[in-house]
Amino acid sequence: MPRRGLKSNWLKFIKDDDLEQIRFAIVEVLAEVGVLMEYRPALEILADHGARVDWDTSVVKIPEDLLERALLTAPSRFTLYGKTPEYDVKVDLDRVYTIGGSCALSVLDLDGKHRLAVRQDLVDLTRLLEEMPNLDIMHQIVVPSDVPELGYELINFATCYSVSKRNYYSQAQSAESVRDQVRMAAVFQGSEEEALRRPTFTEVVCMVSPCKHEKQNSEVLMESARHGIPLYIEVDALCGATTPAPIAGTLVEQGANVLAGVVLAQLVNPGTPCIFSIASGIIDMANGAYSGAAPETTLIHAATAQVARRFGLPYQGGTGIDAKLPDAQAGYERALQVLTNILAGTNFVHLSYGMMEQMLLASYEQVVIDEEIIAAAFRIARGFEVNDYTLSVDLLARVGPLGGHFLTQRETRDFYRQDRWVPHITDRNTWDTWQAAGGKDMRQAANERARALLAEEKPWAVTHEQAAEIERLAQEGVRKAQERKERM
């Protein structure tokens, strides 16, 4: 059975009239301000379909009718395929899923050391993430320091794709990299035709604010669209620096920037799945740093869920937290972030496991703690039912008011089994009982659980022979990328 996420759309921060104002402002910016696109083939296809291009500045202005035609072909329902059917993810505008990652440069390891990430960390953290029941999409959680910068995404693809059964959230530095990844997926799926018919990976392209599409991202976007590979079209706005300080202004810039990419993808290949994506945050004027866990950042992410839904597109939001240790700050930041996003109907809550220090640091212990927080948040979002059974009038009549209780009632036993969330590392004992059990805090409990999970040797998603061939193709792709650079 495929994964069908919890339906959630409980929390709204934008009134209907205000949402229409935001929509009109996005349309106006696209049509009258425009987007800078550095990739000439992107400008050419947009011009051929009615966009106005200034060939001197490479700014393209997209009229509303072209936007509307593109949105008609952009699907709001599709499947992101896993390596086996139980990891298929059914996407629509209501269901909520989680994504791991992404791209931290350092790790906080299980000995408490802060150091640069290496490839073995990518293997181990991917294995650990694979054991998290509420993770739906796998992403590279670190960029190892011991792999070449040019073509690193191919090494990361080979690692994560080989370990994980989940759909893989990938990225590429060129069109050739996209084709290399198709070839690597084909090793597992049997042929390139099957890898394209049922793509087990996606690509993300990260646009620059304000309103700029760099050459590399347009090239990757167009190549992915040609192959029908689903796209996360992402803007990483810095509210107050690269986008206007008011949250409403940031929503407008994000919308125009992302939708320009959606239009381009639909012109290249109508029907390409496009996910409206952000990893935006505010700038902390006290230190000039990005804050992924500020309350205003969470407001941006929750409100963008409404904007994306208004345009009929699935939405990815969520950011890493700012804490550096798995401590009280990390707990409150992650809890507020994921609970708000889940309640707001963010279809993909990204960076939801282990990501800390403004996305620079990945923590093994925080991965385990975040699973606990996410599971509790999903339980809250699931709510409760009101019907004849749960109103329990017959049960109340049977037990009565004369000193009875419900512990021995069959209904109590049955209801607990189906309704109550069971924590794994949360302690609910009294002080004395907790002390008798070792008096461990949550970080210690997470450390023990992570070590135990990593000690279990479990088979990878692909065979040893397939992993070796995928690795060979990745190394070949890196070599070709380096040769292309030397020829430039």
pLDDT in tens, 237-258: 999 999 999 999 999 999 999 9
Q: Is residue 485 very low, low, confident or very high in pLDDT (cuts 50, 70, 90)?
A: confident
**Taking 90 as the threshold, does the pLDDT of residue 488 lie above it?**
no
pLDDT band at 10 (very low <50, low <70, confident <90, very high): confident
**Rounded mean pLDDT of 396-414?**
91
The mean pLDDT of 354-364, rounded to a whole number, is: 96
Average pLDDT over residues 173-179: 97
d(CA 227, CA 432): 61
Does this model's pTM top 0.85? My answer is yes
Summarize pLDDT for 428-456 with one digit per residue, the tens: 999 999 999 999 999 999 999 999 999 99
Per-residue pLDDT band for 487 (boundaries 50, 70, 90) equals confident
Give the pLDDT score at 319. 86
Model pLDDT, residue 433: 98
Does the pLDDT of residue 9 top 80, yes or no? no
What per-residue confidence (pLDDT) applies to 142? 97
pLDDT tens digits, 83-102: 999 999 999 999 999 999 88
What is the pLDDT averaged over residues 169-176?
A: 97
What pLDDT shows up at residue 8? 86
Residue 315 has what pLDDT?
98
